[in-house]
């Protein structure tokens, strides 16, 4: 029998995943990045990673899923156990290569310990919509803006920067950085006269995985608050890469899109 552990970061994704799984998984959280809506069964630190991996084995865990948002934690050298200390050089080397390199190294470590890595789409495919127009209507201007945005996100992703941007009438009004989606959309809302005439196309927010990204981990995530933020920014809709973006509470997202006149497009 397969027993699953969720390695959770902040946000509501862990709770959403727990809610749709037939059997409750073990929920583990990185210290300082507690998930919302679910109480972790275990909190761990990177400095004790080897001990944590051994604990998972003792609990009979054979499959793990990484969900939620984390940032690189500050490491306390005084807390390293001997086994984890041996992992430090490879972890530090990976961190120098950026977030994607770090995530790949973490996956490698868990895989070397015998754990199967499951993606959200594997465990709960309903949270990762396939292609289709999910709310509202599209026009040729929206389709052109989506293609332009996809090209921009692919270029940013190639250098490990962001997973989203805002485009209106072919102009990039904002790109996602460390501050995240809400900060970017709030900035777009303040552009005023700098943005093109909305009568010719209000623009869209686009979200996608990075080129070559391992879709088992760190999938981009949208939720009802994203729809609200896009509406406040005066956009016409949200487009995203089908099969590679998590939608938290899709029904609520669709209802909000209908209320605010936005489209939702899994592209």
Tell me: the pLDDT tens digits for 173-199? 999 988 889 999 999 999 988 899 988
Mean pLDDT of 37-51: 92
Mean pLDDT of 243-249: 94
Residue 95 belongs to domain with CATH number: 3.40.50.20
Asked whether residue 59 falls in the same domain as residue 138, the answer is no
Cα–Cα dist 37/188, whole Å: 30
pLDDT at 99 (0 to 100): 67
Asked whether residue 217 falls in the same domain as residue 199, the answer is yes
Evaluate if residue 138 carries a pLDDT over 70.
Answer: yes
Tell me: the pLDDT tens digits for 217-228? 888 999 999 999
pLDDT at 91 (0 to 100): 79
Beta strands in the chain (DSSP E): 4-8, 26-30, 42-44, 63-67, 116-117, 132-135, 164-168, 171-175, 204-207, 221-222, 237-240, 246-247, 263-266
Residue 133 belongs to domain spanning: 128-266
| Domain end position, chosen among 123, 152, 185 | 123
Q: Please name every residue paired with 247 in a beta bridge, in sequence order, or none if there are none.
A: 222
Asked whether residue 173 falls in the same domain as residue 231, the answer is yes
Asked whether residue 8 falls in the same domain as residue 86, the answer is yes
Asked whether residue 53 falls in the same domain as residue 140, the answer is no
pLDDT at 33 (0 to 100): 87
| Domain end position, chosen among 123, 147, 170 | 123
| Domain end position, chosen among 86, 107, 123 | 123
Asked whether residue 91 falls in the same domain as residue 153, the answer is no
Residue that is written with structure tokens 């303040």 in the block: 190
Cα–Cα dist 179/171, whole Å: 21
Number of domains, the chain = 2
Asked whether residue 116 falls in the same domain as residue 135, the answer is no
Tell me: the pLDDT tens digits for 118-133? 999 999 999 999 999 9
């Amino acid at each position: 029998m397969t027993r699953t552990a969720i390695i959770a970061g902040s946000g509501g994704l862990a709770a959403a995943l727990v809610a749709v799984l037939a059997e409750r998984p073990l929920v583990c959280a990185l210290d300082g990045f507690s998930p919302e809506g679910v109480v972790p069964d275990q909190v761990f630190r990177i400095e004790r990673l080897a001990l944590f991996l051994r604990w998972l084995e003792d609990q009979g865990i054979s499959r793990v899923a990484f969900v939620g948002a984390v940032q690189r934690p500050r490491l306390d050298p005084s807390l390293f156990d001997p086994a984890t200390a041996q992992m430090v050089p490879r972890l530090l080397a990976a961190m120098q290569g950026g977030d994607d390199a770090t995530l790949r190294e973490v996956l490698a470590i868990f895989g070397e310990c015998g754990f199967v890595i499951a993606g959200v789409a594997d465990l709960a495919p309903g949270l990762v919509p396939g292609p289709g127009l999910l709310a509202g209507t599209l026009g040729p201007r929206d389709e052109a803006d989506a293609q332009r945005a996809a090209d921009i996100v692919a270029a940013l992703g190639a250098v490990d920067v962001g997973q989203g941007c805002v485009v209106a009438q072919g102009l990039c009004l904002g790109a996602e950085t460390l501050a995240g989606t809400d900060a970017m959309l709030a900035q777009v809302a303040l552009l005023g006269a700098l943005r093109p005439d909305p009568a010719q196309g209000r623009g869209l927010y686009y979200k996608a995985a990075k080129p070559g990204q391992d879709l088992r981990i760190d999938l981009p995530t949208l939720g009802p608050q994203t729809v609200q933020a896009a509406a406040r920014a005066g956009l016409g809709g949200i487009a995203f890469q089908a099969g590679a973006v998590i939608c938290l509470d899709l029904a609520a997202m669709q209802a909000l899109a209908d209320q605010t006149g936005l489209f939702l497009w899994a592209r």
